Amino acid sequence: MSAQTASAPAPANDAPPAQRRSFIDTVVRAREVSLIGVLAILVLGVSIKEPRFLNAQNLRDILLNVTIVALLAVGQTIVVVTRNIDLSVGSVLGITAFATGVMFADHHMPIVLVFILGMLFGAFFGLINGAMVAFARVPSLVITLGTLYVIRGIDYAWAHGRQINASDMPNGFLKLGTAEILGVPILPLFALAAMLIVGTVLGRARMGRELYAIGSNPDAALLAGIRTTRRVLGAFVASGAIAGLAGVLYAARYGTLDAAAGNGIELSAVSAVVVGGVAIFGGAGTVYGAALGALLLATIRSALVILQVNPFWEQAINGALLLLAIGLDAFLAKRLARELRKRASHRV
């Protein structure tokens, strides 16, 4: 599993770039490997207690349930590595899902066109968020918390109590939520494709390296000639477009749509990103880790259902994992800074 560029706090920047990159990449890989280990232990333990946890139908349900959150987590990663956050993705998903139903029910649009328009619809809201963050320099937490409620309010006003049902949408579209290829559901393949594309861009393209540099040290990135305004704006547009895609797939997955679609799902996406090892302070983490975080949370949810545990514990466990991940990020940042300062001093 590949890792992308990570970073340490500014005081450690005196260390040679090759040394710094190698050491931090090792830490990032360790986070992802540890997630795989935790996931394996969880699956093994639950399957011993309840063997039907590993039956084909339950595994299929886990893959389907994780798709939407994993997609949002991939888009969220692009924003978080720049030291920002996008809390509006749940509302963008919701309004795009309802728009998808309207495009089918009222305008009978082709499926491919609906996908394109859905992503453009989401990108539009991402552009609004990005413009206020990148140009007006307003903290992303404040902006996206506001647009979360504004977009959801627009959705409720637009829907005006209307509900769109599966019968209003074409069967070919709805089959995306249930169809399989060689026994593998089609829906998760969208998340896989998005993860690979975004992962490649962040890990290998100059654009990706610049996004990590901005998250690591915005002032240094600006002095290095990186167009930080353009990159931050692009990150939010990409996150919005992916949230729009998630909204279209949400419509295919669930079929019944109203103004409450996707309500609260942004918290699951943020949790998946942080649990997956993407530093909430920016500059470190991978989309692969974020997707693993989403898979871990979905597996926990399924395990609690199989074991007939009170649903309250899902929220408690997710919250505990989130706090643990944030604490671990802070601890690793301090360790990395200390280690790299030590290496730099030895070279002097």
pLDDT digits (tens, 9 = 90+) for 73-114: 999 999 999 999 999 999 999 999 999 999 999 899 999 999
Mean of the pLDDT values across residues 253-273? 90
Report in angstroms the alpha-carbon separations of 140 from 82, 135, 164, 335. 11, 12, 33, 28
For range 334-346, the mean pLDDT: 64
Domain boundaries along the sequence of the chain: 15-340
- Residue 264 pLDDT exceeds 70: yes
Q: Nearest-CA neighbor of 253 among 152, 175, 164, 153?
A: 175
Q: Residue 30 — pLDDT band, cuts 50, 70, 90? A: low
Structural fold of domain 15-340:
ABC transporter involved in vitamin B12 uptake, BtuC (1.10.3470)
What's the whole-number mean pLDDT along residues 181-200? 91
Q: Which of 44-53, 66-75, 303-312 has the lowest mean pLDDT?
A: 303-312
- Span 162-172, mean pLDDT? 91
C-alpha dist (Å) from residue 177 to 63, 109, 172, 187: 11, 18, 10, 6
Task: Give residue 99's Cα distance to chain centre.
Answer: 22
Token pair 């290496």 is found at 343
Which pLDDT score, from 0 to 100, does residue 23 have? 52
Q: Please name the residues in contact with 183: beta carbons below 8 A apart, sequence gap of 6 or more.
A: 56
User: 214-229: per-residue pLDDT in tens?
Assistant: 988 888 888 888 888 9
pLDDT at residue 197 in the model: 94
Per the model's pLDDT, the better-predicted residue between 211 and 3 turns out to be: 211
Question: Which residue shows structure tokens 């990570």?
Answer: 6
Question: Over 60: is that where the pLDDT of 303 sits?
Answer: yes
Q: Which of 10-24, 61-75, 261-275 is predicted least confidently?
A: 10-24
Q: Note the pLDDT of residue 113.
A: 96
The average pLDDT across 200-206 equals 90
Cα distance between residue 109 and residue 207, in whole Å = 35
Return all residues near 209 (Cβ < 8 A) that are at least 6 apart: 5
Higher pLDDT, 287 or 319: 287
- Indicate whether 347 pLDDT > 90: no
From residue 202, alpha-carbon distances to 2, 150, 210 in Å are: 11, 30, 9
Contacts of 172 (CB under 8 A, 6+ apart): 111
Confidence (pLDDT) at 236? 96
Q: Is residue 1 pLDDT above 50, yes or no?
A: no
pLDDT at 348: 56
Compute the distance between CA of residue 262 and CA of residue 252 in angstroms, rounded to an integer.
13
Give me the pLDDT at residue 33, please. 81
Residue 262 has pLDDT above 80, yes or no: yes
Q: Quick one: average pLDDT of 58-85?
A: 92
